[in-house]
Amino acid sequence: MEAAVVTSFLSHDTDRSTRSLDARADDTDARDFVYQPTIALLPGTLDRRPLAPKILDQGQEGACVGFALAAVINISLARQDEVRPARRRSATGGAGSLASARMLYEMARRYDEWKGEGYSGTSPRGAMKAWHHVGAASEAAWPLDSREREWTPERADDARSRPLGAYYRVLDSDPLHVQAAVLEADAVLVSLWVHSGWRHDQLLAPARGAVTIKRIDSRPGGRSLHAVAIVGYTPDGLIVQNSWGRRWGTGGFALLAYDDWFANRQDAWIARPGPRTNDSQGRARIFLAGFAGEAGAPSRVDTSAEGLDIPAGALPFFINTGDQGGLDGTHRLKTRIEELPGMAAKVREQQTVDGHRHVMLYAHGGLDAETEGVRIASRIFTACRASGQTAYFFVWETGTFESVLGLLRSRDDAAGPEAVGFSIPEILGAIKKGAANIGRAVQKAIGAASAGAIRPIWKEMTGRAEGASASRGGARLFTGELLKAMRDDDRGVPYVLHLVGHSAGAIYLSFLWDHLLRTELTDPVIAGTGVTLGSIHLMAPALSVADAEARFMAGGALPVARKNFRVYMLGDEKEQTDNIGVYPSSLLTYVADHLQARKGRVPILGIGSDFRKRYRNSGGPWPVPASPGTERHGQFDDEGHEIDTIIEEIAAGKYV
């Protein structure tokens, strides 16, 4: 369920008439690392305020998450003595050492759970992910009042020198866990629902005790989400560091009662900066599996791919299509229409193999979100380049399909880091074991009951695939430029095009052939010399038999020689055992049984039994596929499986 978006304003009598409260709620994710307190004795009172080098002021902007995380980071930097003790209570602090609240907020909106950046506010999870992937820039590199909001290479270099170290989500329902987190990490990033008792003119006078600071008046009806740092505690409550300037509370701090916290808490995180890590050239770099924290490659002008681990020189070969199939400029991998000619021109740089220039167009499956699609494409790109081929990749946004069906993945699909005690694969395994125990009939009934909600999302995904090849679709626009670049090459070496798709990627490519390539490559009036279609490879295609025939056999013949149209699929037994948790068979079987149509089963080209039933073992217009050694739906494009065989065979000239 999408988290609620809350935007409101809280008036008070400090130097700002209104405060925008735009923190966003995020649901607990089983992949989170959960903080486990040690057995150490906790002091009765703990006050980390002396470590805070600067009280920030977000003004009227809804950027509280970035400011709160900056406060947490700055306290850790003070602990590392990167901020000198004499400056810890200064009004200005040291901009060269302090973390940039502006950068943390702007980057959090790129990594949070919501599409695009055309909104105010973000979530603590988004901020933590941003720090995890790209680091934390200094205030000097990205000042609070900077009008320049671009993620420049200079800012990226600066941010990589302050990587995220250990980080955990805190069990906010237990105040003892929050107290222990303050003891261990000095500050806790939290979001909570605030009320009128937070107004400066409504704060209560300090109570007697070791810590004398103003108190937030506990009141019911918290309606707006806000992010702050917790920097201590007393027997009476938690010490909050706000981002409303030094005039709020007592020098920017106030005491939040435990019952107020318990009633209004949303989430809590702790983190420590990690030590700088350099590459072999001595440059700061963030080493992450699947991410590198790099800014956009300079070879692709005005295009960014923040946080995506893309091989050097590969960025111009990735085309991102999103909503309705148009070019997507809202995610980390951005593709703009003005870049397409330059991207297509890269095809002329490849070497000649067996007297030809082989070019692959690849579309990944529908369960792959942007990050996973880029990971798959990056590996295939490297393998193709090593074999002398050029490969372009359609990294298409499949909407909410990959999220809704996240629990319906094949069992080989990993789902992130382990939580404390249990990993996602273990949880899914438990679901599948439980489903097996209740029997296939009941399991099928559960899957059928879920189909009503999932079917519209499947239809939306196929609509995006078709939209990519419509008149303004991203795949059509790019492929048109690619054909032009190949035809304009006057060196006399012919180009051979190969279409390769996995799962729903076959649907994507079927529309591209039907809406564009058939005319461009077969119409004698339009088709130019020097470009031919060599082969089509569909791995476990989620394409229906009827649609495959309608799109690839219009006119009664295949687009390529029969031996060059390859369909790869699981064997019957593997198709039945590759279950998806709430259904006793594979993802393709679920698509055939329930997602293609509301009533009645729709035969799917990638299911062996459907294939044989339609063509009675003759193969019909298609070559009879041999059951591969692949055991699960998600393995076809993995290293050592069908995709590697396809790359090798293309390089060997098998499909010329």
Specify the pLDDT at position 56. 93
Considering only 36-40, 78-82, 554-558, 595-599, which range has the smallest mean pLDDT? 78-82
Q: Is 43 left (phi over 0), alpha (psi -120 to 50) or beta?
A: beta
Whether 252 contacts 242, CB under 8 Å: yes
CB neighbours of residue 399 within 10 Å: 19
Query: What pLDDT digit, counting tens, does each position of 435-470 carry?
Result: 444 455 655 666 677 777 778 878 888 888 999 999
Structure tokens at 124: 């603590």
Using the predicted structure, report yes or no on whether residue 277 has a pLDDT greater than 50.
yes
Place of tokens 């006050």: 47
Query: What pLDDT digit, counting tens, does each position of 569-586 carry?
Result: 888 888 877 766 556 667
User: What is the band of 478 on the pLDDT scale with cuts at 50, 70, 90?
Assistant: very high
Q: Which residue has the higher pLDDT, 213 or 122?
A: 213
Specify the pLDDT at position 633. 83
Considering only 82-96, 167-181, 461-475, which range has the smallest mean pLDDT? 82-96
Place of tokens 């569909």: 538
Considering only 171-185, 311-325, 482-496, which range has the smallest mean pLDDT? 311-325
Structural domains of the chain sorted by starting position, each given as residue range(s) with its CATH number in brackets: 15-273 (3.90.70.10), 315-651 (no CATH)
Q: Output 435-443 pairs: Cβ under 8 A, ≥24 positions apart.
A: 435/579, 435/581, 435/582, 435/584, 436/584, 440/584, 443/579, 443/582, 443/583, 443/584
Using the predicted structure, report yes or no on whether residue 244 has a pLDDT greater than 80.
yes
Specify the pLDDT at position 96. 57
Specify the pLDDT at position 425. 40
Q: Output 543-547 pairs: Cβ under 8 A, ≥24 positions apart.
A: 543/506, 543/507, 543/510, 543/604, 543/605, 543/606, 544/592, 544/596, 544/602, 544/603, 544/604, 544/605, 545/603, 545/604, 545/605, 545/610, 545/611, 545/614, 546/602, 546/603, 547/507, 547/510
Residues near 606 by Cβ (< 8 Å), separated by ≥ 6?
503, 506, 538, 539, 540, 541, 542, 543, 567, 569, 588
**Which residues are paired to 57 by β-bridges?**
244
Whether 110 contacts 306, CB under 8 Å: yes
Specify the pLDDT at position 354. 78
Place of tokens 């470590």: 51
Using the predicted structure, report yes or no on whether residue 82 has a pLDDT greater than 50.
no
Specify the pLDDT at position 609. 87
Using the predicted structure, report yes or no on whether residue 196 has a pLDDT greater than 70.
yes
Specify the pLDDT at position 1. 27
pTM for this model (two decimals): 0.55
Q: Where are the beta strands (DSSP E) in 235-372?
A: 237-241, 253-257, 265-273, 318-321, 357-363
Structure tokens at 184: 């261990």
What is residue 595's DSSP assignment? I
Q: Which residue has the higher pLDDT, 313 or 179?
A: 179
Specify the pLDDT at position 367. 60
CB neighbours of residue 38 within 10 Å: 9
Using the predicted structure, report yes or no on whether residue 296 has a pLDDT greater than 50.
no
Instruction: Provide DSSP, 125-175.
Output: HHHHHHHHHH---BTTTS-TT-S-----HHHHHHHTTS-EEEEEE--TT-H
Residues near 616 by Cβ (< 8 Å), separated by ≥ 6?
none
Q: What kind and span of H or E run contains 10?
A: strand 8-11
User: What is the band of 525 on the pLDDT scale with cuts at 50, 70, 90?
Assistant: low
Q: Is 189 helix (H, G, I), strand (E, B) or coil?
A: strand
Query: What pLDDT digit, counting tens, does each position of 343-396 carry?
Result: 999 999 877 877 899 999 999 987 655 666 777 888 899 899 889 899 999 988
Residues near 154 by Cβ (< 8 Å), separated by ≥ 6?
141
Q: Round the average pLDDT of the chain to a whole number and report it.
A: 79
In terms of Cα–Cα distance, which of 359, 358, 370, 378 is closest to 313? 378
When pLDDT is averaged across residues 406-410 and rounded to a whole number, the result is 40
Q: In angstroms, rounded to a whole number, what is the distance separating the alpha carbons of residues 312 and 309?
A: 9
How many residues in the chain?
Answer: 656
Q: What kind and span of H or E run contains 453?
A: helix 440-467
Q: In angstroms, rounded to a whole number, what is the distance separating the alpha carbons of residues 369 and 356?
A: 34
In degrees to the nearest 10, what's the CA dihedral of 237, 239, 245, 247? Answer: 60
Q: In angstroms, rounded to a whole number, what is the distance separating the alpha carbons of residues 356 and 388?
A: 10
